[in-house]
Amino acid sequence: MKKLLFFSSVILLLSSCSEYQTGELTGSKIRPAWEAEVPFGMLYIPLGSLNLGPSDQDVPWAQTAQNRTVSLQAFWMDETEITNNEYRQFVEWVKDSLAYVKLRDDGGKEDLYVATNTYGEDIPEEDQYIDWSKPIDWDETENREYLADMYLQGDERFYKKKELDVRQLNYTFYWMDFKQAARKNKIGGKENRAYNYKTGKYEGEVLKADGSRVAIKDRSSYIIKEEINVYPDTLCWVSDFTYSYNDPMSAMYFWHPAYDHYPLVGVSWKQAVAFSVWRTQMKNGYLRSMGRVIVNDYRLPTETEWEYAARGGLASSPYPWGGNYTRNYLGCFIANFKPMRGNYTDDGGIHTVIVAHYEPNEWGLYDMAGNVSEWTQTAFDESSYSFTHDNNTQNYYSALDDDPIVLKRKVVRGGSWKDIAYYLQNGTRAYEYQDSAKSYIGFRCVQTYLGRNFGSDGQQGDSQVY
């Protein structure tokens, strides 16, 4: 019996060390399982290449796009533009977060935060997080007292209505500036990488979001902190058009249930970026809580990703639906834009319409032409097609407040309800300034695919862990 136990223990010991005793390179064995999951509300866009640029004549003779072949990795893309109701989830999250902080700091309700870890030890304040399983009772008398200043006060109230002061809905977010981390820094006439491997020190300076330059000390120098108000500019309906009565749209469009599934408008490029960061944190936070592997960030599409997705595999078509005309075989318009000589109602809407109202393109994406134009991640430069790389083409720059206005231009694509048919074409480029919010610009998100390609049977491609 003793011999049996001895041999069993020896076999167990050898099996646990076999990874190293074979002398073979077998890779680490302690790896999590991974299988591709279709992100909710998104469609798969396969890797491929396209002939970027105009498929028709350059009507305004702008000469801002030249034809060239570019290649792109696979990615996921939102089936429709982000709707009012989807963005409202972001706004409400920021509102609730603000309330949690006020109740903790002013009301002394530390129990709304997770203050101890699994070992019962106190967690430093900077590492504490909201326990969303403990909802706020907004009608509780004590809570109403501490949360009262979140609402408009005194003369700012209209007919004594209790309305949220949306000026307080500020969202703080962070992003990693990989571009600055990878670039070379000029120090004393010499060029060195951000990290000097000879001295073991970080050198040079990094440009922060507020325009300041700070010495590079460690990885934290490349973590950029920003804060932005997340509430849409509801007055854009009035400010965009003079001598035009759009007051009802300003008053109702974002909050009324009738417009829940209409495309979001009135958000700047910065707000769209903040939404993407929040969406990423929400998704990956959930995955971590379930012990699962995180996914790539949600983000705005690059200009080339947007055009590739809009074409839907139809390489030479001027429009996402595949034809050369803006009407179908029944003579009906097939997008929401400004047809003919300005008869806005001919296509079924006078401004925006509910998303997915018209037929999708070949890849199932709705409203890639018309309804609202869409922000892309790409900085607008008339000559960018000449100097950008032909693999995952991108020209990115997050302009600072004091930068020249020309550096604040961001590419918008797809045309909108107020545009003529030319701006609906796949290859037409336009721009708007990143700090502006318009009644005809929205956005949708993408997520880079993890791996090479998604299997035709709907299963994970070559990055499956076996």
Q: Count CB-CB contacts under 10 A for residue 336.
A: 29
What per-residue confidence (pLDDT) applies to 370? Answer: 95
Helical packing angle, 84-105 and 269-289, nearest 10°? 70
Q: 172, 226 in Cβ contact below 8 A?
A: yes
Name the burial class of residue 159, with classes exposed (0-12), middle (13-18) and buried (19+) by CB atoms within 10 angstroms of its CB.
exposed
* C-alpha span between 172 and 151 (Å, rounded): 20
Specify the pLDDT at position 464.
40
- Portions of the chain given CATH number 3.90.1580.10: 44-83+230-453
- The residue type found at 439 is S
Q: Are strands 68-72 and 195-196 parallel, antiparallel or unpaired?
A: unpaired
pLDDT for res 431 = 95
pLDDT at 2 over 60: no
CA distance linking residue 262 with residue 357, whole number of Å: 10
Identify which has the larger pLDDT, 106 or 8: 106
More confident residue, 193 or 97: 97
d(CA 95, CA 88): 10
Q: Are 52 and 316 in contact (CB under 8 A)?
A: no
Label residue 331 by pLDDT band (50, 70, 90): confident
Q: Which of 8-12, 185-189, 293-297, 395-399 has the highest mean pLDDT?
A: 293-297
pTM of the predicted protein model: 0.87
Residue 425 · residue 54 · CB < 8 Å:
yes
φ, ψ of residue 58 in degrees (nearest 5): -85, 90
pLDDT digits (tens, 9 = 90+) for 391-415: 999 999 888 888 899 999 999 999 9
Distance CA 254, CA 84 (A): 6
Considering the chain, what is the average pLDDT of its residues? 84
CATH class of 44-83+230-453: alpha beta
pLDDT given at position 210: 61
Q: Position of tokens 């319409």?
A: 353
- Interatomic CA distance for residues 140 and 145, integer angstroms: 9
